[in-house]
Amino acid sequence: MAISSSSSKLVFLLWVLGFMSVMSSAAKFDELFEPSWALDHVSFEGEELKLKLDNFSGAGFGSKSKYLFGKTTVQIKLVEGDSAGTVTAFYMSSDGPKHNEFDFEFLVDETPIRVFTNKEKKGVPFPKDQPMGIYSSIWNADDWATQGGRVKTDWSHAPFVASYKGFDINGCECPISTNAVDNTKKCSASEGSLLLLLSVSTGVGRK
């Protein structure tokens, strides 16, 4: 059956819009983030960025800039099936030997939430004074993450893949060339100066 001219135009328009959406998603990642290690384990497939873990390496990415106040969001599809021993993490971290981290680590064990307090009294500045980079990674932690290391990663299920989309950062950027005091003053005075927040939507892939 012949396809009408109007139908052909509609199909072409939908294809173009879909292609533009994929390009926009890739451009959003490239604008804000970059792979930080194991580039051969990082891929972009359609709208999704994928990090792969096998028995050779995990993978990760990080933000190109650091921030003091604001919000970052991402949608993550966690590893499907038997992923015991693997850790998919989305987190913020400052630099240096006395650094802070805010972590989401998806361990899938009997502890729903782990809370670690800040260490300002030990000389570790709270993140309101430390610009934070934004990172994500997938890695093997079967030496501690699964019943204290008793359950090991089953590599017959590899590669383990975590997928990401919906990248966004709305925060006060802190250039490396600007000293910490000036960055704090600038970002504290900015509109909507909330402590940098992580917002994560997750799902678990299924075979």
Alpha helices in the chain (DSSP H): 5-32, 180-188
86 pLDDT exceeds 60?
Answer: yes
Provide the residue type at 49 as one letter.
L
Are the CB atoms for 59 and 51 separated by under 8 Å? Answer: yes
**Which of the residues 101, 110, 120, 191 is marked catalytic?**
101
* Residue 9: predicted pLDDT: 41
**Which of the residues 31, 34, 47, 105 is marked catalytic?**
105
1 pLDDT exceeds 80?
Answer: no
Over residues 165-178, the pLDDT tens digits come to 999 888 888 877 66
The stretch 37-45 carries a mean pLDDT of 93
* Residue 171: predicted pLDDT: 83
Fold classification of 7-204 is Jelly Rolls (2.60.120)
User: Is 101 tagged catalytic?
Assistant: yes
Q: In the chain, what are the domain boundaries?
A: 7-204
